[in-house]
Chain A
């Protein structure tokens, strides 16, 4: 098995007397998309800042592509591309100037730089704006420029902090597609506080709360099977189960209070409703149920003051 791209062990970070990250350990394997999930202030960005060398941990260690982020910081930073939250860019530069500057400080020489810039511009569809000042670009284009600079020098790891913040729905879909495409070439660590976002792009998620790692969850099972919350009054769980037994791709999950049943289907809600009605049952309400990740997140963070 190939070595993990990130190995974080017992990462701890204090800001003064406030504990921001509390003994967090996780890894990211090659070509894997791992999501750091948690409410605002749960320590996600601090962990990213430690991994990228912007902050030193108070305790614990982190290695990126085998290089310690503190003692071999320069080498570790060569292995990664980073897009901070709020997408800071040099707005007085033009897109191609900015990419040239970032490429050069990433160590690309004159022979490799033009090709690397062209490739990044091509991948992020920045051709139309390459000669424009960054200050003139929309939020969506700025996000693309930030990702383009992070990909220069072909890093082994891409770190994205809340990459869909402030984007419109179309731009969110584009970023999601990009993450999927890139995951074939490098490892990606991405933070978000949006559960649905994570379910769509990550192979695994690490759930954080108050700086503590609560769980690392493998995703994938949730991708195809959407869950529905269906109200079937005046019938038993047995009747609902037997009505659905013959329907392919549909699984009875559990009985919920107030005549609701949780049912998983990979073909939408229509075959479920058709089967229930066909069996002579009365269906009153159909809605999307909380996903597995949502349920897990709510269960893990239950009782939190947030």
Chain B
């Protein structure tokens, strides 16, 4: 803990010092605000389902922009050598970067709570569905961030890190569309890996333990792989 807190502080400060975080949050809120307003005026439904799906789709692009620099930049600048030759654990280094990224995404998702407030003031939304939608977004972010961490830990090129992370994230998002063409045995497996299939219940107000388990275990697995990627080869 003694060495973890300074690592976390450094990561949070680095993310919030860079203009990337503010630009990403600003663009995200702008797009989501536009979508929320248009949908609300057209449909007159007190729901955020469309916001949750659109946010999830944008996350697939936004998270790689945030995670691309985490290790790739340090590897390129040589500071990773400084960090890993100090008496710190790899797990602390990975966890600090994960939590700092989640702080940015948490702030971004949290600010969309204004839409829920607006709905609450002028309508009577289904709060259960709103809570589960937000929880789904956080869990989805968690999996995407840890995938981004693994990829960033494997390269010193930020652009490559971003593109590969986008590729993996999109593949996992829509892998269920392949399922109908696959043999039965494979169909289930493909669906079970689909981020869209896992996220949909949360966005629509249904929560299943298996989906929780998927997001948590995929996060842990990816963070373990990130630690392995940092291993002193």
| Contacts from A to B (Cβ < 8 Å) | 49, 52-56, 73-75, 77-78, 80, 82, 84, 86, 88-92, 101-102, 104-107, 109, 149
Contact = CB atoms under 8 A, between A and B. Distances in A.
Given A92-B14, A92-B17, A105 B232 contact: no
Q: Is the interface of B mostly helix, strand, loop or mixed?
A: helix
B2 A107 contact: yes
Given A88-B77, A104-B3, A105-B7, A55 B233 contact: yes
A107 B83 CA distance: 13
Contacts, number: 66
A109 B2 CA distance: 8
Interface string B1-29: 01101110110001001000000000000
14 contacts: A54-B81, A54-B85, A56-B231, A56-B233, A74-B89, A75-B87, A77-B85, A82-B85, A90-B14, A91-B77, A101-B10, A105-B86, A105-B88, A107-B3
A88 to B, nearest CB: 3
B78 A88 contact: yes
Contacts of B231: 56
Nearest to B18: A92
Given A55-B232, A55-B233, A105 B87 contact: yes
B79 interface: yes
Contacts of A101: 6, 9-10
B84 interface: yes
Interface string B58-99: 000000000000000000011101111111110000000000
Given A101-B6, A107-B3, A90 B79 contact: yes
Contacts of B10: 90, 101
Given A55-B233, A56-B233, A107-B3, A84 B82 contact: yes
A190 to B, nearest CB: 16
A187 B84 CA distance: 21
B84 A53 contact: yes
B86 A77 contact: yes
Contacts of B9: 101
Given A90-B79, A104-B3, A54 B232 contact: yes
Contact of A102 (B77, B81, B84, B86): B86
B14 A104 contact: no
A152 to B, nearest CB: 10
Given A53-B232, A84-B82, A89-B82, A106 B77 contact: no
Contacts of B79: 88-90
B85 A53 contact: yes
Contacts of A54: 81, 84-85, 232
A105 B81 contact: no
Nearest to B6: A104
Contact of A78 (B14, B87, B233): B87
Contact of A105 (B3, B77, B233): B3
A75 B87 CA distance: 7
B134 to A, nearest CB: 32
A173 B9 CA distance: 37
B222 to A, nearest CB: 23
A16 B78 CA distance: 21
B233 A107 contact: no
Given A89-B79, A105-B88, 6 more contacts: A73-B232, A84-B78, A84-B85, A91-B77, A92-B14, A106-B86
